[in-house]
C-alpha cells in the first residue's frame, strides 16, 4: 500500500513538472510573439498555430493575407535558450545586422568560424534570424539578424542604469557646486559656478568638460592659488588614484580655451597660476643657474634674458653672486626701460623679473629659488587692481625677510609693507577702480630712485 502511494505521488509530481514546463514554454513563446510584432509590417500577421520546431530552433512564419491569396512574407528563426553572458560584440545596440556587419565586427575570423559564431549567437538566444521572401512568397529576398528579446531587455536595463547613474551624478555635482564657498574671494568664482550650473541644468549628462570645470571650481574653493597639475586631484569623475595630476592632459588646450572664455581670459581671477601654451620669463640678473641639463652663467646682466617655464622647472639650484634684492614687475616695458637707462654696473645687486599680467607657477618657483639662494628682499610692482591681491599674497607666502610693494599714496608712488599694501588694495577693490603701472612711467628717474636700482 505504501509503495503504491509513493509511486502515485512520484507520477503526479512528474506530470506537474511537465505541465509547468509546457506552460512556461507557452508563456515564453507568447512573449516572443509580442516582441516580434515590432518587426512586422501592418499587413503582416503571425498565427501561433503555425509555429513549429525544427533542429531545436523555433520557426515562426509571417504571412500576408489578401482577398484571394495568402503567402509567406518572412520567417523568424529563434531559440528559447538563455545565455550565460552577453558577448562584447553584441553589447552595443543595433536594429538589424547582416553577415557583412558581423564580419566587420569579427574581422579576425575565417568564413567558417564566422558562420559558427553567428549560429552560436542564434542557438544561445541572443539573436533571431529573419528570412524575407520575395513578393507572393516566391524565393528568398534576403537574410539578416535582429536582437532577441533577451538581448533587447539587456540593452533596456543597461540604458535605465545609465540614465539613473547620470541622474545621480548630476545631483551629486549640483550639490557639490552649490555648497562650495569662495573663501579666497576669487573674482571669477561665481561666474564659473553659474556657468557650470547652467551646463548641467535639466539633468544633462555630466561630460568630461563639466568634470574639468567643476574640478577647477573645487580647486579655487580649496586654495588661494593652484596650478594645472593640481586640478585633476579634485576630479569627481576620475576614480583612478594613479596619475590624477594628468587626468585632463589630453584635452588641456581645449579645456583651458573653454575656461578662458568663462573667466574673461584671466585665470588668475580664480586662483589659477598657469595657462596653456609656451611661455618664457624675461629677467635680468647676475647669477649662475644649475639646470638638470647643464649650467649657465649670467655674468654681468647687461641684457635681458629669456628662460622658458619648462627650463625654470629644471633648475636644480641658483647661485646669487652679489645679488641682494629681487624686483618683480607686471610689465615687460618697465624691465626694458630700467635696463636701458641704468648701467649694468649700477644694478649689479638687483635681480629683476617681469611677469606680464599673471604670476605663473614657474615664476613663483623661480622666486623660491632666489630665496633659497639667500636673497632676503623682494620688491613687487603690479597694476593696482583686485588681481594684485592674490599675486602679493602668494609672493608673501614664499617667506622673504623683507617684502615690500609699490603703491600710490597721495598721487606719489611709495614702498610699503605687505599689510599696508593689502589694506590699500582691499579698499581699491571696493571702488572698482583700476590703476595701471603705465601712468607712472613718465618720471623714470624717480622710479629708479624709489626702487634703489641705480644705487652703487
Nearest to 127 by CA among 2, 35, 228: 35
For residues 399-423, average pLDDT: 89
The reply to whether 442 falls in a domain is yes
pLDDT given for residue 30 in this prediction: 75
Question: In the listed set 270, 293, 326, which residue is the last one of a domain according to the structure?
Answer: 270
Asked whether the beta carbons of 124 and 79 are under 8 A apart, the reply is: yes
Nearest to 79 by CA among 135, 28, 141: 28
pLDDT given for residue 175 in this prediction: 95
For residues 424-433, average pLDDT: 78
Asked if 185 and 231 sit in the same domain, the reply is yes
Higher pLDDT, 285 or 95: 285
Which string of DSSP letters, residue by residue, matches 195-248?
A: HHHHHTGGG----HHHHHHHHHHHHHHH-SSB-HHHHGGG-SS----TTGGGTT
How far is the C-alpha of 95 from the C-alpha of 128, rounded, in Å? Answer: 12
- Residue 265, C-alpha cell as written in the block: 581670459
Percent of the chain with pLDDT over 70: 84
Question: In the listed set 270, 292, 320, which residue is the last one of a domain according to the structure?
Answer: 270
Out of 28-42, 68-82, 90-104, 305-319, pick the least confident.
90-104
Q: At residue 404, does pLDDT exceed 70?
A: yes
**Cβ neighbours of residue 342 closer than 8 Å, sequence gap 6 or more:** 448, 453, 454
pLDDT given for residue 454 in this prediction: 61
Domain tally, the chain: 3
Asked if 262 and 288 sit in the same domain, the reply is no
Asked if 441 and 301 sit in the same domain, the reply is yes
> 335: phi > 0 → left, psi -120 to 50 → alpha, else beta; which?
alpha
Question: In the listed set 211, 244, 270, which residue is the last one of a domain according to the structure?
Answer: 270
Q: Which residues pair with 287 in a beta bridge?
A: 298
pLDDT given for residue 24 in this prediction: 45
The reply to whether 404 falls in a domain is yes
How far is the C-alpha of 165 from the C-alpha of 453, rounded, in Å? Answer: 62
Nearest to 103 by CA among 87, 91, 114: 114
How far is it between the farthest Cα atoms of the chain?
A: 127
Domain holding 265, by residue range, is 176-270
What's the whole-model pTM score? 0.50
pLDDT given for residue 14 in this prediction: 44
Q: No. of H helices and E strands in the chain?
A: 14, 16
Asked whether the beta carbons of 381 and 329 are under 8 A apart, the reply is: yes
Strand blocks (E) in 262-308: 280-284, 287-291, 294-298, 305-308
Amino acid at each position: 500500500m505504501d509503495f503504491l502511494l509513493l509511486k502515485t505521488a512520484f507520477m503526479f509530481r512528474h506530470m506537474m513538472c511537465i505541465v509547468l514546463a509546457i506552460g512556461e514554454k507557452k508563456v515564453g513563446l507568447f512573449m516572443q510573439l509580442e516582441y516580434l510584432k515590432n518587426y512586422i509590417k501592418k499587413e503582416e500577421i503571425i498565427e501561433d498555430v503555425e509555429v513549429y520546431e525544427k533542429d531545436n530552433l523555433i520557426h515562426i512564419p509571417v504571412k500576408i493575407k489578401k482577398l484571394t491569396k495568402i503567402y509567406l512574407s518572412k520567417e523568424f528563426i529563434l531559440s528559447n535558450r538563455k545565455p550565460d553572458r552577453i558577448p562584447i560584440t553584441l553589447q552595443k545596440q543595433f536594429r538589424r545586422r547582416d553577415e557583412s556587419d558581423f564580419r566587420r565586427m569579427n574581422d579576425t575570423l575565417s568564413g567558417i568560424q564566422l558562420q559558427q559564431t553567428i549560429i552560436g549567437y542564434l542557438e544561445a538566444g541572443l539573436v533571431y534570424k529573419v528570412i524575407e521572401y520575395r513578393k507572393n512568397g516566391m524565393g528568398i529576398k534576403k537574410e539578416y539578424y535582429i536582437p532577441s528579446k533577451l538581448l533587447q531587455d539587456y540593452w533596456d536595463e543597461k540604458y535605465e542604469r545609465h540614465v539613473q547613474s547620470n541622474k545621480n551624478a548630476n545631483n551629486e555635482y549640483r550639490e557639490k557646486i552649490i555648497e562650495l564657498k569662495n573663501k579666497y574671494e576669487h573674482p571669477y568664482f561665481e561666474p564659473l559656478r553659474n556657468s557650470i550650473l547652467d551646463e548641467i541644468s535639466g539633468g544633462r549628462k555630466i561630460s568630461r568638460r563639466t568634470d574639468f570645470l567643476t574640478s577647477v571650481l573645487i580647486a579655487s574653493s580649496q586654495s588661494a592659488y593652484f596650478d594645472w597639475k593640481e586640478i585633476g586631484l579634485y576630479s569627481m569623475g576620475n576614480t583612478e588614484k594613479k596619475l590624477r595630476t594628468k587626468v585632463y592632459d589630453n584635452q588641456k588646450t581645449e579645456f583651458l580655451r573653454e575656461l578662458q572664455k568663462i573667466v574673461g581670459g584671466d585665470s588668475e581671477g580664480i586662483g589659477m597660476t598657469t595657462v596653456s601654451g609656451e611661455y618664457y620669463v624675461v629677467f635680468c640678473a647676475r647669477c649662475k643657474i644649475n639646470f638638470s641639463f647643464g649650467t649657465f652663467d649670467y655674468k654681468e646682466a647687461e641684457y635681458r634674458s629669456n628662460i622658458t617655464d619648462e627650463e625654470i622647472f629644471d633648475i636644480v639650484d641658483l647661485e646669487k653672486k652679489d645679488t641682494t634684492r629681487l624686483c618683480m614687475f607686471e610689465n615687460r616695458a618697465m624691465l626694458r626701460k630700467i635696463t636701458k637707462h641704468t648701467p649694468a654696473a649700477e644694478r649689479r645687486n638687483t635681480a629683476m623679473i617681469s611677469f606680464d599680467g599673471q604670476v605663473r607657477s614657474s615664476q613663483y618657483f623661480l622666486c623660491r629659488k632666489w630665496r633659497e639662494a639667500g636673497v632676503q628682499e623682494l620688491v613687487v610692482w603690479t597694476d593696482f587692481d583686485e588681481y594684485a591681491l592674490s599675486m602679493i599674497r602668494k609672493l608673501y607666502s614664499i617667506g622673504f625677510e623683507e617684502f615690500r610693494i609699490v603703491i600710490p599714496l597721495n598721487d606719489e608712488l611709495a614702498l610699503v609693507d605687505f599689510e599696508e599694501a593689502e589694506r590699500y588694495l582691499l579698499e581699491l577693490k571696493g571702488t572698482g577702480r583700476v590703476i595701471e603701472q603705465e601712468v607712472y612711467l613718465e618720471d623714470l628717474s624717480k622710479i629708479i630712485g624709489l626702487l634703489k636700482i641705480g644705487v652703487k
